[in-house]
Amino acid sequence: MFSLGLDDLLTELRRRQWTLLRWGPPDAPRLLAAMLHRETCADVLILRSEQDASAFRAPVWRGSDPLAPEKVSYQYHANALWTLRAILTLPAPGSPGAPVTIETPHPRCRIGDHLPRPVLIRPLSPHPRARPYQATVS
């Protein structure tokens, strides 16, 4: 489904602790989304196909849904490779160059209601699991 460059960037999302959501089977998903929750916002990526993707940063508060934002401080819509590159290079909130304006999101910043429940793929732990202690017998 995705090219090698795109697969590498998806792997980078997991390495950076993004939560992945998949609608459909692993070998042919209908839709992929990824989220990185921060203290005041969520960075979101929606991959519809290699030619159609959206990325945005949405403010978060109690009860808000990052997959259906009311406002965004950043949005980008292009092919999957460029959109992934854009969201991975977006400066962290509060950093120089980070977006600060609030705007109305494009309709492409929403996941449709018609989809079944997604498979949630939690981020990998930032710390490798310690091996269990094994006693040696002499």
Q: Where are the domains of the chain?
A: 4-121
Name the DSSP class of 103: B
Question: pTM for the full model?
Answer: 0.82
**Residue 112's pLDDT is what?**
77
**Residue 67's pLDDT is what?**
93
**Residue 126's pLDDT is what?**
54
Q: Which segments of the chain are extended strands (E)?
A: 19-23, 31-37, 41-49, 52-59, 74-78, 119-121
Query: pLDDT tens for residues 13-53?
Result: 888 999 989 898 888 888 999 999 999 999 999 999 999 99
- Beta carbons within 10 angstroms of residue 76's beta carbon: 20
Yes or no: say if 43 and 90 are a contact pair by the CB < 8 Å rule: yes
Mean pLDDT value across residues 117-134: 58
Taking alpha carbons only, the member of 138, 63, 2, 97 closest to residue 34 is 2
